[in-house]
Structure 1
Protein backbone atom coordinates (compact mmCIF):
# COMPACT_ATOMS: atom_id res chain seq x y z
CA UNK A 1 0.00 0.00 0.00
CA UNK A 2 1.44 3.36 -0.99
CA UNK A 3 1.55 6.35 1.36
CA UNK A 4 -1.36 8.02 -0.45
CA UNK A 5 -3.45 4.84 -0.34
CA UNK A 6 -2.72 4.42 3.37
CA UNK A 7 -3.64 8.05 4.04
CA UNK A 8 -6.91 7.80 2.09
CA UNK A 9 -7.76 4.51 3.80
CA UNK A 10 -7.27 6.10 7.24
CA UNK A 11 -9.31 9.19 6.31
CA UNK A 12 -12.20 7.09 5.01
CA UNK A 13 -12.00 4.75 8.01
CA UNK A 14 -11.94 7.53 10.61
CA UNK A 15 -14.72 9.55 8.99
CA UNK A 16 -16.87 6.45 8.46
CA UNK A 17 -16.72 5.59 12.15
CA UNK A 18 -18.96 8.60 12.72
CA UNK A 19 -21.31 7.77 9.80
CA UNK A 20 -19.84 10.53 7.69
CA UNK A 21 -18.58 9.50 4.25
CA UNK A 22 -15.86 11.87 3.02
CA UNK A 23 -16.52 13.84 -0.14
CA UNK A 24 -13.98 14.33 -2.89
CA UNK A 25 -13.45 17.87 -1.57
CA UNK A 26 -12.67 16.46 1.89
CA UNK A 27 -10.13 14.05 0.43
CA UNK A 28 -8.52 16.72 -1.75
CA UNK A 29 -8.18 19.09 1.20
CA UNK A 30 -6.85 16.45 3.62
CA UNK A 31 -4.37 14.85 1.20
CA UNK A 32 -3.35 17.84 -0.90
CA UNK A 33 -3.66 15.72 -4.05
CA UNK A 34 -5.72 16.15 -7.20
CA UNK A 35 -8.90 14.23 -8.01
CA UNK A 36 -7.27 11.91 -10.55
CA UNK A 37 -4.64 10.61 -8.12
CA UNK A 38 -7.24 10.16 -5.36
CA UNK A 39 -9.53 8.19 -7.69
CA UNK A 40 -6.61 6.01 -8.78
CA UNK A 41 -5.65 5.28 -5.17
CA UNK A 42 -9.24 4.41 -4.20
CA UNK A 43 -9.57 2.13 -7.24
CA UNK A 44 -6.35 0.37 -6.20
CA UNK A 45 -7.70 -0.13 -2.67
CA UNK A 46 -10.96 -1.53 -4.06
CA UNK A 47 -9.17 -3.84 -6.52
CA UNK A 48 -7.06 -5.28 -3.68
CA UNK A 49 -10.26 -5.71 -1.60
CA UNK A 50 -9.02 -3.37 1.14
CA UNK A 51 -12.21 -1.30 0.66
CA UNK A 52 -15.66 -2.20 -0.59
CA UNK A 53 -18.76 -0.05 -1.03
CA UNK A 54 -22.03 -1.35 0.39
CA UNK A 55 -24.65 0.06 -1.99
CA UNK A 56 -27.63 -0.77 0.21
CA UNK A 57 -26.32 0.89 3.35
CA UNK A 58 -24.32 3.52 1.44
CA UNK A 59 -21.20 2.99 3.51
CA UNK A 60 -17.63 1.71 3.20
CA UNK A 61 -16.63 -1.76 4.34
CA UNK A 62 -13.06 -2.43 5.44
CA UNK A 63 -10.87 -5.49 5.28
Structure 2
Protein backbone atom coordinates (compact mmCIF):
# COMPACT_ATOMS: atom_id res chain seq x y z
CA UNK A 1 0.00 0.00 0.00
CA UNK A 2 1.47 3.35 -1.00
CA UNK A 3 1.51 6.38 1.30
CA UNK A 4 -1.32 7.99 -0.68
CA UNK A 5 -3.43 4.82 -0.56
CA UNK A 6 -2.86 4.54 3.18
CA UNK A 7 -3.82 8.19 3.66
CA UNK A 8 -6.99 7.83 1.58
CA UNK A 9 -7.89 4.61 3.41
CA UNK A 10 -7.54 6.37 6.78
CA UNK A 11 -9.58 9.37 5.62
CA UNK A 12 -12.40 7.14 4.34
CA UNK A 13 -12.26 4.98 7.47
CA UNK A 14 -12.34 7.92 9.89
CA UNK A 15 -15.09 9.80 8.06
CA UNK A 16 -17.17 6.62 7.71
CA UNK A 17 -17.08 6.11 11.47
CA UNK A 18 -19.22 9.24 11.74
CA UNK A 19 -21.59 8.08 8.97
CA UNK A 20 -20.27 10.54 6.40
CA UNK A 21 -18.90 9.22 3.13
CA UNK A 22 -16.15 11.51 1.84
CA UNK A 23 -16.63 13.03 -1.58
CA UNK A 24 -13.93 13.39 -4.21
CA UNK A 25 -13.76 17.06 -3.22
CA UNK A 26 -13.15 16.10 0.44
CA UNK A 27 -10.34 13.76 -0.62
CA UNK A 28 -8.83 16.41 -2.92
CA UNK A 29 -8.72 18.92 -0.06
CA UNK A 30 -7.35 16.49 2.52
CA UNK A 31 -4.69 14.89 0.28
CA UNK A 32 -3.77 17.79 -1.98
CA UNK A 33 -3.92 15.49 -5.01
CA UNK A 34 -5.93 15.74 -8.22
CA UNK A 35 -9.03 13.68 -9.05
CA UNK A 36 -7.43 11.12 -11.43
CA UNK A 37 -4.73 10.33 -8.85
CA UNK A 38 -7.32 9.85 -6.10
CA UNK A 39 -9.52 7.66 -8.32
CA UNK A 40 -6.54 5.48 -9.22
CA UNK A 41 -5.57 5.04 -5.55
CA UNK A 42 -9.15 4.15 -4.54
CA UNK A 43 -9.39 1.72 -7.46
CA UNK A 44 -6.15 0.06 -6.30
CA UNK A 45 -7.56 -0.28 -2.76
CA UNK A 46 -10.73 -1.89 -4.14
CA UNK A 47 -8.79 -4.20 -6.46
CA UNK A 48 -6.66 -5.46 -3.57
CA UNK A 49 -9.82 -5.95 -1.49
CA UNK A 50 -8.67 -3.50 1.20
CA UNK A 51 -11.83 -1.48 0.56
CA UNK A 52 -15.28 -2.52 -0.66
CA UNK A 53 -18.45 -0.52 -1.37
CA UNK A 54 -21.67 -2.00 0.07
CA UNK A 55 -24.38 -0.96 -2.39
CA UNK A 56 -27.27 -1.95 -0.12
CA UNK A 57 -26.12 0.10 2.86
CA UNK A 58 -24.34 2.83 0.85
CA UNK A 59 -21.24 2.58 2.98
CA UNK A 60 -17.66 1.35 2.82
CA UNK A 61 -16.52 -2.02 4.17
CA UNK A 62 -12.96 -2.35 5.40
CA UNK A 63 -10.56 -5.26 5.45
TM-score category by the smaller chain? over 0.9
Unpaired runs of 5+ residues, structure 1, are none
Any residues of structure 2 matched to 1:4-15 within 5 Å, and which? Answer: 4-15=4-15
Question: 4+ runs of 1 displaced by more than 3 Å?
Answer: none
Number of residues paired by the alignment? 63
Counterparts of 2:11 and 2:41, CA distance in 1:
13
> d(CA) in 1 for partners of 2:26 and 2:41?
15
TM-score for the superposition, normalised by structure 1: 0.99
1:60 has 2:60 as partner = yes
**Residues 1-63 of structure 1 aligned to structure 2 (within 5 Å):** 1-63=1-63
Q: Provide the aligned C-alpha RMSD in A.
A: 0.2
